[in-house]
Amino acid sequence: MTAQIIDGKAFSAKVRGQVAEHVTRLKADHGLTPGLAVVLVGEDPASQVYVRSKGKQTIEAGMASFEHKLDASTSEADLLALIDQLNTDPAVHGILVQLPLPDHLDEALVINSIAPEKDVDGFHISNVGLLATGQKSMVPCTPLGCLMLLRDQLGNLSGLNAVVIGRSNIVGKPMAQLLLRDSCTVTIAHSRTKDLAAVVRGADIVVAAVGRPEFVPGDWLKPGATVIDVGINRLDAPEKGEGKTRLVGDVDFASASEVAGAITPVPGGVGPMTIACLLANTVTACCRANGIAEPE
Ligand code: NDP
């Protein structure tokens, strides 16, 4: 293996440490405790794990965590009423509605009912527009985490060729906006892209957010490229025992790590950065709400 491993677990611990320091200062200097409200509708097992983990890490950072677990049959009116109440609650600085929502709820309507300044996921249409026009916004957590890892690894990203594989609203598109803001030359690839291998081969930076296990092989990569693997795919792992599974990314780690200059592992790469950035966004929201200089 030649590639350097980008340790997202260690980096996220550093970010969480910085968040905890800011929280201590906000409490001591301003009597403020940043608060994050997480709303979960239904019993999706993966969502339950994420929500538990978010709550735990919020409290570990010294912040207030408000969990709202609603029945899968909750009506849109009841969900919107809860969001309304959280929008006006001064103890709540960040609101996150865990996605996906049950089919009978209109995801766009629900997300756009969150007050943009409390939208710590950065999915509200106002924040999407602010990011796209280079204005101060709430930045989606997963792409923000990827950007932090890239800046830490490469320093200045200006002029680098970046290929983002995937064009979802939660990862691909905001990732491309952030790379563009850092003056990369950005290509967004998707399922209709022709000769994806050739597109990827021109990239100094590859961000894979496809949702297909081990989709990007090493021989697509430019030697020395920096590879950020956003994918989280669970595969059966009978070799670990009956019913056991293992996590893999959207990049074939074994072959890619022979060619790339640096690569994020799965697990332990992008995943832990997402919650760290959620905590950081909540501190930022708290500072902005109170006219206090926000962390850089
Ligand atoms: P989506 O399913 O919303 O988007 C996947 C994208 O990949 C689409 O734009 C799709 O193209 C594209 N795609 C699918 N097949 C191909 C193909 N054969 N060639 C090229 N492009 C293709 O996924 P998400 O963006 O929500 O998530 C992507 C991955 O990241 C998933 O594995 C998810 O679990 C993971 N994830 C990880 C997070 C973390 O914290 N680490 C957070 C969020 C997601 P098209 O638009 O044309 O259909």
Q: What are the tens digits of pLDDT across the range 12-61? A: 999 999 999 999 999 999 999 999 999 999 999 999 999 999 999 999 99
pTM, two decimal places: 0.97
What are the start-end ranges of the E strands in 42-123? 64-70, 94-97
Distance CA 170, CA 143 (A): 8
Is 166 labelled a binding residue?
Answer: yes
Task: Determine which residue's CA is closest to atom 48 belonging to ligand 1.
Answer: 191
Question: Distance of alpha carbon 27 from its chain centroid, rounded?
Answer: 27
Q: What is the mean pLDDT of the chain?
A: 97
Amino acid identity, position 51: V
Q: How far is the CA of 168 from the centre of ligand 1 (A)?
A: 6
Task: Tell me what pLDDT residue 162 has.
Answer: 99
Distance CA 233, CA 213 (A): 6
- CA 249 → CA 28, 73, 132, 208, 267, distances in Å? 41, 33, 28, 9, 8
Superfamily of domain 30-116: Leucine Dehydrogenase, chain A, domain 1 (3.40.50.10860)
* Closest-lying ligand 1 atom to the alpha carbon of residue 210: 7
Q: How far is the CA of 211 from the centre of ligand 1 (A)?
A: 4
**Phi/psi at 24 (nearest 5 deg)?**
-60, -45
Q: Minimal CA–CA distance to 157: which of 123, 91, 102, 203?
A: 203
Q: Are 64 and 91 in contact (CB under 8 A)?
A: yes
Q: Where in the chain is the domain with CATH 3.40.50.10860?
A: 30-116
Catalytic residue flag (residue 57):
no
Q: Are 39 and 96 in contact (CB under 8 A)?
A: yes
Catalytic residue flag (residue 9):
no
Instruction: pLDDT band for 231, please (50, 70, 90 cuts).
Output: very high
Q: Minimal CA–CA distance to 227: which of 269, 260, 267, 179?
A: 260
* Closest-lying ligand 1 atom to the alpha carbon of residue 250: 32
Q: What is the ipTM, given to two decimal places?
A: 0.99
Q: What percent of the chain has pLDDT over 90?
A: 98
Superfamily of domain 141-270: NAD(P)-binding Rossmann-like Domain (3.40.50.720)
Catalytic residue flag (residue 54):
yes
CA neighbours closer than 13 Å in the CB half-sphere of residue 110: 24
Q: Where in the chain is the domain with CATH 3.40.50.720?
A: 141-270
- Strands 233-236 and 245-248 turn out to be antiparallel
